[in-house]
Amino acid sequence: MTDKVNAILFHQYGPSPFSEKIRVIFGIKGLDWYAVEQPVIMPKPELTLLTGGYRKIPVLQIGADVYCDTQRIVAEIEKRYPTPSLFRGPNQGLDWCLNSWADRVFFQAVVAVVFGGGAAMADEAFIADREKLTGRAFDVEAMATALPMMKEQLRSHLGWLNAELQDGRKFLKGDMPGFADAAAFYNIAFMLGAYPAIKDMLATLPNLDKWVGAVHAIGHGNRTEMSREESLAIAHDATSITRPQADPHEPNGLVPGDAVTIMADDYGQDPIQGELVTSNAHEIAIKRTTDELGDVVIHFPRAGFFVIKS
Ligand SMILES: N[C@@H](CCC(=O)N[C@@H](CS)C(=O)NCC(=O)O)C(=O)O
């Protein structure tokens, strides 16, 4: 087991679009990783034990450190495996902006088209689960009615990516693939799997169509399967590497040791309680202790998450 304490354990499921973003990043960096398959709908008892209640996918685990949200996962992978970098030089701000666009505006247009177009995965249990997740009706009929409008939205978003590639470059930032490519690609990969008619639209966007092939060819690095039970045993046996650190510019005076509650600001807001270990402008980490796992440190991004002092 000791050799797996520093291994990448990736909690995911095959058709998860956000997981695809990270799988492409494993490919870009040529990493070895373990896939821990999680259910597509609740309950997810092993995952929520590890995360303190966060149920979204994917989640990255390395030993007793648990990283929630792809924003935080990307930053951690880049920190631990800096070569080759996901960024072209030090100016990284716009890559994060593009990622935020892909995860919110672009993703919402893609979801509307995929489910309005009749994706097979939307059975009764899936719909009930996603209604609970979002607190809104998952109305497939309304999405089907809106499909023509959403296709227009989608074409416009895809057009921006196509325009960025018009000088013939292979990837969005040049000759080498990086974060921008993984962030822009996963929504298109999701559509290719669940809404094959997207191929007709891609055929009208030749730069983008070519780029899809190039990103697809990167692959996913070197994947091995691991059971959920083994991943929990690793969390139990490992010790977190995260050290307490105060943030001198913390806008609300939070300090290590404070009891805090963290929740996403969009859907799946399940509050997660713990003791603050470290925070800065882009990261917040809390410690939780359970009989089953002992101490685990759970990491979240700041953008897109609310922190409330308990
Ligand atoms: N902001 C999150 C979004 C993750 C997300 O919405 N993931 C989807 C699957 S791709 C999800 O968790 N859906 C509900 C579920 O699987 O339980 C991130 O970047 O990781």
Domain limits for position 59: 2-84+222-309
Tens of pLDDT, residue by residue over 168-205, are 999 999 999 999 999 999 999 999 999 999 999 999 99
Query: Domain boundary at 216, 232, 257, which?
Result: 216
More confident: 60 or 119: 60
Assess whether pLDDT exceeds 70 at residue 28. Answer: yes
Domain with 46 in it: what CATH number? 3.40.30.110
Tell how far the Cα of 30 is from the centroid of ligand 1, in angstroms.
24
Tell how far the Cα of 130 is from the centroid of ligand 1, in angstroms.
11
Q: Does ligand 1 have an atom closer than 6 angstroms to the CB of 99?
A: no
Q: Does ligand 1 have an atom closer than 6 angstroms to the CB of 182?
A: no
The stretch 40-59 carries a mean pLDDT of 98
Question: Residues 101, 207: one domain?
Answer: yes
Write down the pTM of the prediction: 0.98
The stretch 144-167 carries a mean pLDDT of 97
Q: Contact at 8 Å (CB) between 260 and 203?
A: no
The stretch 236-258 carries a mean pLDDT of 97
Assess whether pLDDT exceeds 90 at residue 118. Answer: no
Q: Does ligand 1 have an atom closer than 6 angstroms to the CB of 23?
A: no
Tell how far the Cα of 58 is from the centroid of ligand 1, in angstroms.
6
Question: Residues 137, 239: one domain?
Answer: no
Assess whether pLDDT exceeds 80 at residue 2. Answer: no
Query: Domain boundary at 216, 243, 263, which?
Result: 216
- Phi, psi for residue 212 in degrees, rounded to 5: -55, -45
Nearest-atom index, ligand 1, CA of 38: 16
Assess whether pLDDT exceeds 80 at residue 121. Answer: no
Report the alpha-carbon distance of residue 60 to residue 7 in Å, rounded: 10
Question: Residues 256, 204: one domain?
Answer: no
Question: Residues 186, 249: one domain?
Answer: no
Question: Residues 121, 168: one domain?
Answer: yes
Q: Does ligand 1 have an atom closer than 6 angstroms to the CB of 4?
A: no
Count of CB atoms within 10 A of residue 260's CB?
18
Question: Residues 206, 103: one domain?
Answer: yes
The share of the chain scoring above pLDDT 70, in percent, equals: 99
- Phi, psi for residue 171 in degrees, rounded to 5: -125, 170
pLDDT band at 134 (very low <50, low <70, confident <90, very high): very high
pLDDT band at 122 (very low <50, low <70, confident <90, very high): confident
Question: Residues 212, 227: one domain?
Answer: no
pLDDT band at 32 (very low <50, low <70, confident <90, very high): very high
Question: Residues 97, 175: one domain?
Answer: yes
Count of CB atoms within 10 A of residue 291's CB?
5
The stretch 205-233 carries a mean pLDDT of 98
Question: Residues 151, 263: one domain?
Answer: no
Number of domains in the chain: 2
Domain with 165 in it: what CATH number? 1.20.1050.10
The residue among 303, 27, 52, 299 whose CA lies nearest residue 179 is 27
- Mean residue pLDDT of the chain comes to 97
Question: CA–CA distance from 169 to each of 55, 157, 177, 184, 192 (Å)?
Answer: 38, 19, 11, 15, 23
Question: Residues 114, 34: one domain?
Answer: no
Question: Residues 227, 210: one domain?
Answer: no
- Strand ranges (DSSP E) for the chain? 9-12, 32-37, 59-62, 65-68, 222-226, 259-264, 272-279, 283-290, 294-301, 305-309
Tens of pLDDT, residue by residue over 62-78, are 999 999 999 999 999 99
pLDDT band at 1 (very low <50, low <70, confident <90, very high): low
Any bridge partners for residue 289, and if so which? 295
Q: Does ligand 1 have an atom closer than 6 angstroms to the CB of 178?
A: no
Q: b/e map of 292-310 (b: 16 or more CB within 10 Å)?
A: ebebbbbbbbbeebebeee
Q: What is the pLDDT of residue 4?
A: 96
Question: Residues 142, 173: one domain?
Answer: yes
Query: Domain boundary at 216, 244, 264, which?
Result: 216
What the block records as the tokens of 87 is: 């960024």
